[in-house]
Amino acid sequence: MVDIEKLVRPNILALKPYSSARDEYAGGAGIFLDANENPFGELNRYPDPHQRDLKHKLATLKAVNDNNIFVGNGSDEVIDLAFRIFCIPGVDKALTFAPTYGMYEVSSAINNIELLTIPLTTDFQIDVEKVKLYFADSSIKLLFICSPNNPTGNLMNKRDVEYILKNFNGIVIIDEAYIDFAKEASLISLIDQYNNLIVSQTFSKAWGLAAARVGLAYANSEVISLFNKVKSPYNVSKINQQAAIDALTKFEVYSERLTLILKEKERLIAQLQELVIVKKIYPSDANFLLLEVEHADSLYTALVAQHIITRNRSKQVENCIRISIGTPHENDELVKALKDI
Ligand SMILES: *Cc1c(COP(=O)(O)O)cnc(C)c1O
């Protein structure tokens, strides 16, 4: 067990959070003259600051308790708040791997936290021997693991992740933005076992709600209460809470689309393998493919000229392009364009 309090910034431990009008009254219907809202209109009332209905649905789906869930304004908020809770600016550090999701770097820079990066192995796995060298540095408060990893698409070896959870004395954030597409289960099941584990997920990918900005953190209740302490009072709008609830209610829509995306992924792989310009397709547990091509920069530009926008990742992985799985029609258009190039 990690001593969580020891990892928290002293000013956050001491903080008395803002108590909103809706925090103090949790009863049912009434005459609300407490929050200086306009009594008229559709969206005139502040939303539930604790997103109780949404958490309740998620708790059932994920087999956790409501107090194991934090709902954020996208995963970006989860990442940002983790820096603000645990890392003293200019003093503490965080650790991640490369190549990986760019927001860890941006968010650490915004918060004035040094982010150390360890290269992944040639098959994009964690080099545990290298990670071990950092365990003695108590200024490292956070460690980010993206699994399935963006932009490489692979799941991280569970044995390596558990080794880190057991031996690292800081907080481990496992970013599972793509876990719904993966063949392995989420590590949310480990939050009771490791109190330093935060699993982040999102409604932006498999749930199809990127526009709504709803991100999630799953952890033990002590860690979750820290997130609730520092978040802005009404961080998730009523419209967005409702959009997430509606998506969960229509589980068959989610499930059908997920199946179709995975089927399209296999179809696209088969078609891309036929093309001479494609040198390698990396194995993917996500809804995107990382392709190694001959000249990524010119291929990217040629596709843009045909109004097909992919992600040029050649600065992260040499001559690689990342392609999201689209609709059957979009995937056909991509293959057609690639054949003509
Ligand atoms: C897309 C993505 C997210 C999602 O971020 P939101 O802010 O929830 O939209 C998180 N992590 C990774 C690695 C991603 O690729």
Residue 306 CA to ligand 1 center (angstroms) comes to 27
- Mean pLDDT along residues 302-327: 98
- The residue behind tokens 């820096």 is 83
- Mean pLDDT along residues 50-71: 98
Indicate the pLDDT class of residue 225, thresholds 50, 70 and 90: very high
Quote the mean pLDDT of the chain.
Answer: 97
Residue 6 CA to ligand 1 center (angstroms) comes to 29
**At residue 26, does pLDDT exceed 80?**
no
- Share above pLDDT 90 across residues of the chain, in percent, rounded to a whole number: 95
CA gap 188, 59 in Å, rounded: 11
CA gap 200, 69 in Å, rounded: 10
Residue 324 CA to ligand 1 center (angstroms) comes to 13
- Mean pLDDT along residues 141-155: 98
Supply the pLDDT for residue 21.
Answer: 76
**At residue 22, does pLDDT exceed 90?**
no
Closest-lying ligand 1 atom to the alpha carbon of residue 214: 8
**At residue 85, does pLDDT exceed 90?**
yes
Report the chain's terminal Cα–Cα distance, integer Å: 56
CA gap 322, 152 in Å, rounded: 8
Residue 75 Cβ inside 6 Å of ligand 1? The answer reads: yes
Supply the pLDDT for residue 268.
Answer: 98
Q: Which domains are present in the chain?
A: 4-249 (3.40.640.10), 252-340 (3.90.1150.10)
Residue 80 Cβ inside 6 Å of ligand 1? The answer reads: no
Residue 15 CA to ligand 1 center (angstroms) comes to 29
Q: Please, which residues bridge with residue 291 across strands?
A: 281, 321
Closest-lying ligand 1 atom to the alpha carbon of residue 203: 8
* Residue 97 burial class via C-beta count within 10 angstroms: exposed 0-12, middle 13-18, buried 19 and up: buried
Q: For residue 183, how many other CB atoms are within 10 A of its CB?
A: 8
* Residue 127 burial class via C-beta count within 10 angstroms: exposed 0-12, middle 13-18, buried 19 and up: middle
Kindly report the pTM of this predicted structure: 0.97
Supply the pLDDT for residue 27.
Answer: 77
**At residue 68, does pLDDT exceed 80?**
yes
Please say whether the beta carbons of 277 and 299 come within 8 A: yes
- Mean pLDDT along residues 257-270: 98
Residue nearest to atom 4 of ligand 1 (CA): 75
- Mean pLDDT along residues 112-139: 98
Indicate the pLDDT class of residue 18, thresholds 50, 70 and 90: confident
Among 290, 286, 102, 100, CA closest to 206: 286
CA gap 261, 181 in Å, rounded: 9
Residue 212 CA to ligand 1 center (angstroms) comes to 12
**Higher pLDDT residue, 25 or 161?**
161
Please report how the helices 52-62 and 238-249 are oriented relative to each other, as an axis angle in degrees rounded to 10. 30
Token reading at 279: 């040198």
| Residue 282 phi, psi dihedral angles, 5° rounding | -70, 145
Residue 175 Cβ inside 6 Å of ligand 1? The answer reads: yes
What is the residue-wise DSSP string for 60-95?
A: HHHTS-GGGEEEESSHHHHHHHHHHHH--TTT-EEE
**At residue 48, does pLDDT exceed 90?**
yes
Please say whether the beta carbons of 148 and 182 come within 8 A: yes
Supply the pLDDT for residue 20.
Answer: 81
- The residue behind tokens 């990342």 is 322
Q: Tens of pLDDT along 229-254?
A: 999 999 999 999 999 999 999 999 99
Q: For residue 92, how many other CB atoms are within 10 A of its CB?
A: 21
Closest-lying ligand 1 atom to the alpha carbon of residue 146: 13
